Chain A
């Protein structure tokens, strides 16, 4: 945990470089003009939400299989980050949508499936809070976390499978349809947000472990 401040610092430096290239060094888009710069925050937020879902998915399977508390603690911490980053991706996307499409919200496949992911993980956290038996709540949440993760491929391919207002991926299997400075800014911010995610996950995990230790200490005579 001594590496946490370094991790946070590295994330901030990377973010500053990425935002400088994104806001100053990259050109405006042909169609969207400067509005495209929202992408440098919106896409990394959605990417981190996917990372957090993957963490919940893997650790929930491990918890149901092995039953170790540490897997559940990681899943719970990552579950909170899924809701946070899905919410900010939806929020920044709505602002982008209002500016470019002229509407805050439309019943588009990408938007709806992302909102469904948010609601699934709100339910995931509620189950934990409301369960009277903590272990039973953790097992139920693990099942919801695994089922919720199945929404991610649907979100990702929604722009391919359905006719949507949301643009398709600009970087797909080596086919890059963006100017090099745009790609650089986006990639740097993706790495910066990944660092921020690891920092937030480890900080939240530390809280989870301390709270478990406090509960155990309060119960012991």
Chain B
């Protein structure tokens, strides 16, 4: 294995690991944010009830 190949492979392992993990976390973040938004919409307006 040449030095260039070894360095490229080792750096790729580290960078790919970090990027794949971050992509997964950001995807789950988008999903949970969408769910929270939907839950808040279903619950209706949050204003307190008033007696006329």
Contact = CB atoms under 8 A, between A and B. Distances in A.
B26 to A, nearest CB: 7
A203 B10 contact: no
Given A91-B17, A214-B35, A38 B29 contact: no
Interface stretch (A29-37, A138-146, A155-163, A174-182): A29-37
Given A211-B28, A214-B36, 11 more contacts: A35-B7, A38-B7, A41-B11, A42-B14, A88-B17, A95-B1, A96-B10, A99-B1, A200-B18, A200-B25, A210-B29
Given A38-B7, A206-B29, A207-B29, A88 B1 contact: no
B6 interface: yes
A210 B17 contact: no
B18 to A, nearest CB: 7
Contact of A203 (B26, B33, B35): B26
Interface of B: 1, 3-4, 6-7, 9-11, 13-14, 17-18, 21-22, 25-26, 28-29, 32-33, 35-36, 39
Interface of A: 23, 33-35, 37-38, 41-42, 45, 80, 84-85, 87-88, 91-92, 95-96, 98-99, 196, 200, 203-204, 206-207, 210-211, 213-214, 217-218
B42 to A, nearest CB: 10
Contact of B13 (A92, A214, A218): A92
A131 to B, nearest CB: 20
A200 B3 CA distance: 30
Shortest Cβ-Cβ A-B pairs, 3 listed: A34-B3, A99-B6, A88-B17
A63 B18 CA distance: 27
